[in-house]
């Protein structure tokens, strides 16, 4: 049997990050996913899909996304029910997220987050993107930068941007 859901869409609101009584992080959010066809007026409609994410992934997802972020998720569909305060049975269908991908460049996430609510992450402490040198947010620890970004005319977070310097790599440095 197979139960997989793969979705690409935009967050309709910031992630609601909470913690269970035992201290486990759980995030809930809604994803707006465009339909692949248009209606009679030529407009593209969207489905709003409820999602839930658990543990460390929930904390990371909440820290690095905000309302309007373009994300891809991979998970499974789950149904559950509970009795509300009025004694009525409520049925919920949601996607339980196993994996996610941030589908916008880091600069676009930070800029739009600053315009909307200022909650976009400003520091990654080396955890988010291994290719981002984070020169504006990383501590110096007493060492010099050796001018690695001095001539970088492209994205300051891109170590491969056109800096005009040649890269000298010997065969011993290659992993293959």
Backbone φ and ψ for 112, nearest 5 degrees, come out as: -70, -30
Residue 57 has a CB neighbour count (10 Å cut-off) of 15
Residue 169 has a CB neighbour count (10 Å cut-off) of 7
CA dist 101 and 111 (Å) reads 18
pLDDT in 10s for each residue of the chain, 176 residues: 999 999 999 999 999 999 999 999 999 999 999 998 888 888 888 999 999 999 999 999 999 999 999 999 999 999 999 999 999 999 999 999 999 999 987 766 555 444 444 443 333 333 444 344 443 443 444 444 444 444 444 455 666 566 666 666 667 766 65
Q: How is the chain split into domains, by residue range?
A: 5-36+45-116
CA dist 122 and 137 (Å) reads 7
- For domain 5-36+45-116, is the CATH number 2.40.50.140? yes
Paired tokens of 32: 């707006």
């Amino acid at each position: 049997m197979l139960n997989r859901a793969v979705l690409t869409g935009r967050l309709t609101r910031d992630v609601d990050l909470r913690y269970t009584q035992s201290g486990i992080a759980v995030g809930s959010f809604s994803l707006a996913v465009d339909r692949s066809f248009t209606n009679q007026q030529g407009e593209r409609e969207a489905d709003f899909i409820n999602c839930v994410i658990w543990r460390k992934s929930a904390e990371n997802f909440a820290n690095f996304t905000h309302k309007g972020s373009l994300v891809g998720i991979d998970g499974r569909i789950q149904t559950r029910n509970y009795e509300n305060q009025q004694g009525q049975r409520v049925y919920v269908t949601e996607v339980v997220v196993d994996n996610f991908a941030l589908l916008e460049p880091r600069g676009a996430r930070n800029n739009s987050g600053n315009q909307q609510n200022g909650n976009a992450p400003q520091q990654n402490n080396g955890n988010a993107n291994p290719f981002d040198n984070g020169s504006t947010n990383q501590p110096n620890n007493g060492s010099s930068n050796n001018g690695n970004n001095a001539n970088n005319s492209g994205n300051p977070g891109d170590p491969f941007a056109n800096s005009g310097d040649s890269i000298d790599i010997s065969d011993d440095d290659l992993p293959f």
